[in-house]
Amino acid sequence: MVWHLIKYWISFLLPTFYKRIQGKNIHLLKVRGPAIIAMNHPNAFTDPILFTYVAYPVRTYYLARGDAFKPGLISWILEKIGIVPIFRIQDGGKEGLKKNDEAYRRVNHLLGKHSKIIVFAEGLCVQERRLRPLKKGVARMVFGAYTALNDDRLMVYPVGVNYSQPDKFRSDLFYNVGEPIPVKDFIPLYQENPAKANNAFLQVLESKMKGLVTHINDRNYDETVYMAETLYKRELLNTRGLNPKDLSDDFVALTEITEKVNRGVIERTALVDEFTVKATAYFNELKRLKIRDWLIDPNQNRQVNYLALVGRGIILLACFPLHALGLLGNYIPLRVTDKLARKIARNREFYSSMAIGFAMFIFLINYLLWFFLSRFFFTNSLWPLIICLILAISGWASLYYHPFLKKTLGMARVLRNKTTAKDLLQTRNYLIDLINKF
């Protein structure tokens, strides 16, 4: 009951924080039988919560750090929504590791009921665009589960978690589910030599998972990849005939650009370094002018003209009352949520989890306050409910009004500085040529 209540309430919040949430091959999980879902882990509690949202009606459970299970309300909620505590030696010491026997019994019990268990194969949470080495405990848990269940249907599903910007409001999230790995295929080797079977299984799993994420080989070139994506992705999508609104197609383009940079770092390092220096200067200039790259990109800026600017201005004026109403009803709880999340989150990996968690309660309280405040002016409950609904709808509209306003202002700046825009276009074309030479 608790899981369903939280699931339905949070379903309204998740599409608010993240602009696009999409899964590929989710249907593979809709089979009867035990399954372990092995995924990378860039974004704390957000990773499994949003996967549960995407995979619904498939019910998923997941392993989480045991030191988060403090006695009281939080621990009770975590257990009710399907979290199994697991301890690392750095968290709970040897005593914590002893508690893992109970955790594995719980996992095997759930798998015996054909449940789906998420395990974070890297063993830690880091916001990086790469797959980190997988932990040996994953293989031990998989083979331990097979031994306990003796069920040839046990599968391990590799999943790649891909965010555009994990800790940023209104960014994108793409879950990439790969073909399942039948555990039974490794059992003959496991019975002969468990250590070799563990290593063989992890090699297969790591190879499959690496193909499901955009993996930057050298962290020194993270920013290089981000800049190359911003400059080149739209052109690549158009060239390949891919849909820019489909995150699956978007992933194909991002993977190609990432591999292009990875290759260039090895084969043409000087060229990649030249691109990095000049692209950094280009984006710094855009930041100084308060404009975005799409306003310079000829693939995207065809509507940048005075007629379009006037049209957008009319739309902004017409929609401003709705935007103002959205701010009135939602701005304060939004700011409070952001402030609390930034204050309490120990690092950026926890920001979105904290923000979504606080929003669950703060916005509920916000609308309850608006409801009871409205009741002072109306004799029945219908109008207060309508007012709350209008505030919610207008708040949703504001999510689109604000970026629309920023884009319109950016268009105005480009039209006011046409000579500068032409110079920037020349620089941009040179950077595209460098990318093509990678």
Which residues pair with residue 163 across a beta bridge? 173
Write the pLDDT tens digit of every residue in 335-369.
999 999 999 998 899 999 999 989 989 999 999 99
Q: Which pLDDT tens digit goes with each residue over 138-162?
A: 999 999 999 999 999 999 999 999 9
Neighbouring CB atoms inside 10 A of 269's CB total: 11
Single pTM value for the model: 0.92
Distances (CA, A) of 100 to 51, 90, 94, 208: 24, 14, 10, 27
- pLDDT surpassing 60 at residue 42: yes
Please state at what angle helix 418-437 crosses helix 222-240, rounded to 10 degrees: 90
Asked if 187 and 195 count as a contact pair (C-beta separation under 8 A), the reply is no
In angstroms, the CA 326 to CA 222 distance is 37
Q: Would the pLDDT of 93 be above 60? A: no
CATH 3.40.190.10 assigned to 2-210:
no
Q: Are 146 and 182 in contact (CB under 8 A)?
A: no
Strand pairing report for 83-86 and 171-177:
unpaired
Number of Cα atoms under 13 Å in the Cβ half of residue 248: 8
Confidence of residue 85 (pLDDT cuts 50, 70, 90): confident
Cα–Cα distance, 224 to 205 (Å, whole number): 28
Amino acid 77: pLDDT? 67
Domains in the chain: boundaries? 2-210, 306-427
Q: Cite the beta strand spans of 202-331 per DSSP E.
A: none
Continuous segment of H or E residues that includes residue 205? helix 194-210
Q: Would you state the pLDDT for residue 10?
A: 74
What pLDDT digit, counting tens, does each position of 9-33 carry? Answer: 777 788 899 999 999 999 999 988 9
Model confidence pLDDT, tens digit, residues 299-321: 898 889 999 999 999 999 999 99
Question: Residue 194 corresponds to which tokens in the numbers above?
Answer: 């468990």
Three-class DSSP category at 222: helix
pLDDT at position 76, please?
Answer: 67
- Helices 2-17 and 73-80 pack at an angle, to 10 degrees, of 90
Distance CA 188, CA 350 (A): 41
**What DSSP state is assigned to residue 221?**
G
Question: How many angstroms separate the CA atoms of 103 and 65, rounded?
Answer: 11
- Coil, helix or strand at residue 357: helix
Residue 79's pLDDT band (cuts 50, 70, 90): low
Contact 159, 38 (CB under 8 A): yes
Cα-Cα-Cα-Cα dihedral of 408, 413, 418, 422, to 10°? -80
Return d(Cα 399, Cα 390) in angstroms, integer. Answer: 14
Q: Could you tell me where the DSSP H helices lie in 134-175?
A: 136-149
> Residues 6 or more apart from 289 whose CB is under 8 A from it?
413, 417, 420
DSSP letter for 211, please: T
What's the confidence (pLDDT) of residue 78? Answer: 66
